[in-house]
A and B are shown apart, each in its own frame.
Chain A
Amino acid sequence: MSDLKHDPALEPELTAPAAQPVEPAVSDELELTYATGLEVKTRSQWAYARRRFVRHRLAMVSLVVLIIILSAGLAAEWVAPYAYDEIDLENSGVGPTLENKHFFGTDVLGRDYFSRVVFGIQTSERVAFIVAALSTLIGVLVGAVAGYYGRWADNLLMRLTDLVLTLPGLAVLLTLSAFLGNGSQYRVAVILALLFWTTLARIVRGSFLSLREKEYVEAARAAGSGDARIMFRHILPNAIGPIIVNATLIVGLAILVEAALSFLGFGIQPPTPALGKLISDGQDVASQYWWLVTFPGLTIVLIVLCINFVGDGLRDALDPTQRRARA
């Protein structure tokens, strides 16, 4: 915590207006600085957070890499040199090469794995963003109600999160996905979200519990604000840091778990391309065609790694109280 005081990003910046010609007088330098109007530039909390994030070099690099990968997935139709299901038996089992743009090689049927990976990214990011949005929504609502109203609402909601936390997570996801998932990416996303909101609910509840005692909440109530307005206009903006960090990390977690579900055959089913399914397709011929397992896996590692670094940077930027010993 102590290094927070010396964080240069936190100190108001002293800027001299460049247009003002400063007299080169040596004797009364001190007075001159006041006379020429050195002013304290005010910054919002967001501006401070942005500065802290930009200074986190690893997080910035990760963000750039992440944006490149994710936009490649978004624009898969234009980025991929082939359609993901285009069969080309004359070029089956080609190793990774620049020729014909088979960067990640081709499989037994001659389908281009680079294109399949790019389309897989598209599916993965779609699922992951639905999961993050939905679980954040549920988590914030549950946590806010529990923390703000307390008593029986708190008890009920916290018992509900206890329930989800006692279950073996991956196994329950597999079960629900196998019986209810139907191989659809949207169903899988909803199932994931229904189990991912608990951590956030606890965090939000914690901050609401302490924030509801603050003077500004009392002031808002005295001014006649209703409960909903106090919760979402006054308290929520002050609790937003951990929420954003958590949502970021959930994107990474969702990509990992969805890949595992699809790999085991209980997640997204063909013809929709999914990164986990690509790996399990390559599994049987892995000893001949190593690239079929290696590249989709490396793609997942790279995406999740970048997301975790960005999440780390966001934590330092938005949530300085939870700042861990700098890695």
Chain B
Amino acid sequence: MFTFILRRLLYSIPVLFAASFLIFVSVSAVGNPLSELRLNPLISEQTLQNIAERKHLDDPIPVRYVYWLKEAVTDKFGTPLFVQTPIWDDLTRVIPHTLQLVIVAELLALLIGILIGVYSAIRQYSVFDYTATMASFLGFAMPVFWLALMLQILFTELFLRTGTRVFYTSGLNSVDNTCTFCVDRAQHLAIPVMTLAVLSIAQYSRYMRASMLEVINSDYIRTARAKGLSEPKVTVRHALRNALIPVVTVSAINFGVLIGGAVITETIFGLDGMGPYFINNLQSQDVYPVMAWLMITATMIIIFNLIADITYGFLDPRIRYE
């Protein structure tokens, strides 16, 4: 088990290197990042010279990559191109906000998805089952940004018509409030959580339904029924526990993906998370924070994929990792 984890981690290091090199080179090949600043009369030539010197912009791209790599490893990704505030400080500010959003959304989605999936499976071909299937198809076909906007419009209208504030539609907190775990934060996060959860619920309910159907038709469930166990006991103790395995694995993978995948939701709702940070730096075409962001999220994906594999082996004793 230990060697398995070690091997996977060692193996992911060259993958990260290759990925960072490819992205850095293709993104840097666009041209001189300072050419646009040069058009701005308020920025002196000296400032530009300083930036170029600090980031070694006059060197060829592969050399710049080595400088970037050195800075990333020794100085926690260093500083952005245009300003001197460390990238790491910004990242540590925004990551907890994203984690809060993603954890709540995923737990909610798991709970609802599993309930829908199990009920669809034990009432296969019922009205509920068909409705859930259609709803999940709708969830898969809906652009996340559109859903976010529609919810935003809906709740803004609700506020304007009735005058009572149920949920806020933008920001992390009200102006005079900075709390992290309180009603105000919950009112702000409710709609973003709903938005993020919809696609995950669609996914989990489908997985859960499929694996539950497979388990329910297996021999040991018939045995459990034959020896006279009550139906709830068969469903929960015998079927559900085994049917959960694939869903738990998928949710672990999903979690890693979502940390970098909540970009759209966070941007629309103006949450100060990973998403807006990424989008802002894309807009200013600053390679350095973008690279740092991509490396962090890629590492998250690798770690959570590994966690998924380990939990799978843990939950299903037939799986062995040598």
Interface string of A291-318 (1 = CB under 8 A from B): 0011001001110110011000000000
Decide if A242 is an interface residue (CB 8 Å cutoff).
no
Q: Is the CB of A293 within 8 A of B141?
A: no
Chain B, range 274-315, C-beta contacts under 8 Å to A: 278-279, 282-283, 285, 290, 293-294, 297-298, 301-302, 305
Secondary structure type dominating chain A contacts: helix
Task: Give chain A interface residues in 213-259, CB to chain B under 8 Å.
Answer: 252, 256, 259
Q: Does B145 contact A (CB under 8 A)?
A: yes
Complex Cα distance, B30 from A180, in Å, reads 7
Residues of B within 8 A of A98 (CB): none
Q: Taking the nearest CB of chain B, how far is it from the CB of A280, in angstroms?
A: 8
| A175 touches B (CB below 8 Å) | yes
Which of B11-19, B60-68, B174-182, B223-231 contacts its partner?
B11-19
Docked-complex contact A325 and B261, CB < 8 angstroms: no
B294 touches A175 (CB 8 A): yes
**With A279-B149, A325-B210: A168-B142 Cβ-Cβ less than 8 Å:** no
| Interface check B236, CB cutoff 8 A | no
A170 to B145, CA, bound (A): 13
Taking chain B's interface residues, is the majority helix, strand, or loop, or is none over half, making it mixed?
helix
B141 contacts A297, CB within 8 Å? no
Judge whether A176 and B15 touch: CB under 8 Å: no
B257 within 8 A of A: yes
Across the interface, which residues of B come within 8 angstroms of A171, CB to CB? 260-261, 263, 278, 293-294, 297
Query: Bound complex: CA of A264 vs CA of B143, how far in Å?
Result: 12
B26–A166 touching, CB < 8 Å: no
A287 within 8 A of B: yes
Q: A166-B19, A294-B150 are in contact. Are A305 and B137 (CB under 8 A)?
A: yes
Among B27, B138, B260, B263, which residue has its beta carbon within 8 angstroms of that of A176? B27
Q: Tell whether, in the assembled complex, residue A162 and residue B15 are in contact, meaning their CB atoms are under 8 Å apart.
A: yes
Residues of B within 8 A of A179 (CB): 26-27, 30, 285
Cβ contacts under 8 Å, A266 to chain B: 282
Report chain B residues within 8 Å CB of A260.
143-145, 264
A38 — which chain B residues lie within 8 A by C-beta? none
A286: CB under 8 A from chain B? yes
A29 CB, nearest partner CB in chain B, Å = 39
B19, B150, B160, B261: the one contacting A163 at CB < 8 Å is: B19
Known: A297-B143, A301-B141. A172 touches B285 (CB 8 A): no
Q: Which of A175, A276, A305 contacts B141 (CB 8 A)?
A: A305
Partner of B301, one of A168, A178, A264: A168
Alpha-carbon distance between A166 and B256 when the two chains are bound, in angstroms: 10
Q: Are A170 and B149 in contact (CB-based, < 8 A)?
A: no
Q: Which of B125-161 contact A (CB under 8 A)?
A: 133, 137-138, 140-146, 149-150, 152-153, 156-157, 160
Contact indicator A180/B27 (Cβ below 8 Å):
yes
Q: Sort A-B residue pairs by CB-CB distance and give the 8 closest, nearest first.
A: A168-B260, A297-B146, A304-B141, A305-B141, A168-B297, A178-B282, A179-B27, A327-B133
Cβ contacts A to B, 28 pairs, < 8 Å: A163-B15, A163-B18, A166-B19, A167-B294, A170-B261, A170-B263, A174-B282, A176-B27, A178-B282, A260-B145, A263-B264, A264-B145, A264-B264, A279-B149, A283-B149, A290-B153, A293-B146, A293-B149, A293-B150, A297-B143, A297-B146, A297-B149, A300-B143, A301-B146, A304-B140, A304-B142, A308-B140, A308-B141
